[in-house]
Amino acid sequence: MTTVRVVVEEGASPRCGLATDDAFEVTGPVLRIPSGKPFCLQAMLAAVPLVMSKMDPRPPGDWLERKPFVCCPDPDDDVLLRLERVGP
């Protein structure tokens, strides 16, 4: 089963406490935070709608393959998340 990892690519100094390389993973209907560290709900909810699309193979040139990024909706936090497919 494919896993999608959502990783903090960058974040100046977000109030929510996220740091570069913080991540959560989704495998099927299961969400895990490997580090056990809290993950900002606002940032998570920005990425979740794209996670299911990222689980399936995308055609070459698909925008989600070329630019697998999403921004946290809180403009003061300036957090950029990267979605990456892990596994088959």
SS (H, E, C) the chain: CCEEEEEEEEECCCCCCCCCCCEEEEECCEEECCCCCCCCHHHHHHHHHHHHHHHCCCCCCCHHHHCCEEECCCCCCCEEEEEEEECC
Where is pLDDT greater, at 58 or 3?
A: 3
Range of the domain at 42: 3-86
Instruction: Say if residues 4 and 54 touch (Cβ distance below 8 Å).
Output: yes
pLDDT, tens digit (0-9, with 9 covering 90-100), for 18-74: 999 999 999 989 999 999 999 999 999 999 999 988 988 888 889 988 899 999 988
Count of domains forming the chain: 1
| pLDDT number for residue 60 | 84
Residue 15's pLDDT band (cuts 50, 70, 90):
confident
The structure tokens listed for 32 are: 């895990």
pLDDT given for residue 88 in this prediction? 61
